[in-house]
A and B are shown apart, each in its own frame.
Chain A
Amino acid sequence: MRHKKPLPALLVVLLDLLGVGAMLGIFALVQLTPHAGSGEPLQSIVSNGSPSPAEQSPAPEAASTSDPAATTDVAATPEPTPTPAPGDFSARFPTDEPEEAEGVIGSYADSDLRVVVSEKHTEDATYFVADVWVRSIKGFKTAFAQGKYGHSLYEMPNDIASRLNAVVAISGDTYGSNKQSVVIRNGNLYRDTVGTEDVCVLYADGVMESYYASQFSLDDAIARGAYQCWAFGPKLIDNGQVPTSYNTTDVIISHNPRSAIGYFEPGHYCLVVVDGRQGDYSHGMTMDELSQAMLDLGCVDAYNLDGGQSAMMVFQGQIVSQPYKGGRAISDIIYFGGNDPE
């Protein structure tokens, strides 16, 4: 039997490397190809800011009747004091003008929304805080890139915010980069796959709670009236303290640009963006530093969103933070004011 001469070792190594490259190419092709979903949510959990009809108490019967006497009786009945519906924060909503405090770089107030954006500094980080009050849960909005739900659909956060005339916006959880995380937006369930990340849920009653991945139950969240849900993390506050460990990698925990959301009370939230990776201007924050900053702001719960180059805050059409390398296109934003989500 005639034996072939073996290929040179270098050529074999190069061919194997070519194989590695080809496989990574196939991976990228499958993983990163944009794919618009049907746009239809799997389930409507909360409609128009109030929990779905099954969860509501029965509405009073309509007063219309053909009997004139009955009409008179109804007209004579004094109007009852309206009970605030779940997601109506009118009782707490501040009506005074935002104060001009130190570090404040802008504010906005109308009958339904009050925003104060301020710039803060630590020893080696610059960060921006948007203190937000909404009158109704409907004022807490999220939007998808390109106006539709789908995989690997990206758009610059400032472009999404401008399209929707958002008063204030920050980058979301970039749900479109993976296929295994829960997506609930504006009361609609778009994806019901629970992943390995910590989860943050904003309920229709205005309460925001973040959960460790192992403690999250989608069914419970839906039953309680989840209005928004993000799956990125990690959770930043554990029982009112800085967590001892985080559900993420060491690389993520180290100094980085950050984007986070904090919760004070129903109707009162804060958006935080930390600039980073920019030499003398700002190094960014470690996860511990971000947790401490959120606690210092007075948050009772807080959750880390997509940071790094994605971290960006937009206020009235202007990028107020200084994103690393100018920012990048992402899947979604959290925003207040402006048009309703598409």
Chain B
Amino acid sequence: MRKFRSALSHIGVIFSGVFLTLVILNRYNPAMGFLTSTISQIFILIYCLSVLLLAIATIADNRRYAARMHQRAEEAERWKKIGTNARRPPQR
């Protein structure tokens, strides 16, 4: 998962760089169709898919991390209770 996220991040960086360049070029010569050509649309599709997959992977990871943290917290709470019970003086 980490490699997958890393690859998607690099794809995102690369296509962000491409589109920053194309947006600047488009301001100087909109008639060239830098942002409207077929290849630009293919790039936009790849960029959107990579960002979408990266976002899904990140959200899934965050949820898994949150679930693990929650589980740890519950476990700690349980151990805390067990520890408290252990320290409780024996019932007469």
Which residues of A pack against B, CB within 8 Å? 15-17, 19-20, 23-24, 26-27, 30-31, 173-174, 177-181, 195-197, 232, 248-252, 306, 308
A306 to B40 CA separation, bound complex (whole angstroms) = 22
Chain A residues with Cβ below 8 Å from B22 are 27
* Interfacial chain B residues near A251, Cβ < 8 Å: 27-28
Chain A binding surface SS class: helix
Stretch at the interface among B9-17, B55-63, B65-73, B82-90: B9-17
List residues of chain B with CB under 8 Å of any chain A CB: 10, 13-15, 17-18, 21-22, 26-34, 36-40, 43
A179-B13 contact given A24-B18, A174-B31, CB 8 Å threshold:
no
Smallest Cβ distance from B50 to chain A, in angstroms?
12
Give 11 new A-B contacts, CB below 8 A, not counting A23-B14, A31-B34, A251-B28: A15-B10, A16-B13, A19-B17, A23-B15, A23-B17, A23-B43, A27-B22, A27-B43, A173-B31, A177-B31, A178-B36
**Which residue on B lies nearest to A13, using beta carbons?**
B13
* Closest Cβ–Cβ distance, residue A274 to chain B (whole Å): 17
Distance A20 CA – B13 CA, assembled complex (angstroms) = 8
Q: Which residues in A have their C-beta under 8 angstroms from that of B34? A: 31
Bound complex: CA A27 to CA B34 (Å): 9
A205 to B70, CA, bound (A): 79
Contact residues of B: prevailing secondary structure: helix
Do A197 and B31 touch across chains, with their CB atoms under 8 A apart?
yes
List the 3 closest A-B pairs by CB distance, nearest first: A178-B33, A20-B17, A19-B14
Contact A252-B14, Cβ < 8 Å, known A27-B43, A179-B37, A180-B37:
no
B18 A23 Cβ-Cβ under 8 A: yes
Contact B14 A195 (CB under 8 A): no
Do residues A31 and B39 form an inter-chain contact, with CB atoms below 8 A? yes
Q: Please give me the residue from chain B that is nearest to A308 by CB atom.
A: B29
* Chain A residues positioned under 8 Å from B37 (CB to CB): 31, 178-180
Chain A residues whose C-beta falls within 8 Å of the C-beta of B43 in the assembled complex: 23, 27
Question: Is the Cβ of A20 less than 8 Å from the Cβ of B31?
Answer: no
List, in ascending order, chain A residues with CB within 8 A of B30's CB.
Answer: 197, 248-249, 252
- Chain B min CB distance to A66 (Å): 61
Q: Whole-angstrom distance between the alpha carbons of A178 and B26 in the complex?
A: 12
Complex A-B: 11 CB contacts under 8 Å: A16-B10, A19-B13, A23-B14, A23-B18, A27-B40, A30-B39, A31-B39, A173-B31, A178-B36, A178-B37, A180-B33
Q: Write out the residue numbers on chain A whose beta carbons fall within 8 Å of the beta carbon of B39.
A: 26-27, 30-31
Q: Are B32 and A20 touching (Cβ within 8 A)? A: no
For the complex formed, measure the closest distance between the CB of B47 and the CB atoms of chain A, giving whole angstroms: 10
Task: Kindly state the separation between the CA atoms of A60 and B35 in the bound complex, as whole angstroms.
Answer: 53
User: Smallest distance from the beta carbon of A43 to chain B beta carbons, Å?
Assistant: 23
Q: Inside 8 A of B14's CB, which chain A residues have their CB?
A: 16, 19-20, 23
> Is A179 touching B31 in the complex (CB atoms < 8 A)?
no
Closest A-chain residue to B33, C-beta based? A178
Counting chain B CB atoms within 10 Å of each CB, the highest count among A177, A250, A308 belongs to: A177
Closest residue to A18 on the B side, CB-wise? B14
Q: How far is the CB of A244 from chain B (nearest CB, A)?
A: 19
In the complex, A122 Cα to B28 Cα: how many Å? 25
Q: How many Å from the CB of A57 to the closest CB on chain B?
A: 39
Question: Do the beta carbons of A16 and B17 come within 8 Å of each other?
Answer: yes
Please state if A195 and B40 are interface contacts (CB–CB under 8 Å). no
CB closest residue in chain B, given A12? B10
- Least distance between A87 CB and chain B CB atoms (Å): 29
A16 to B22, CA, bound (A): 17
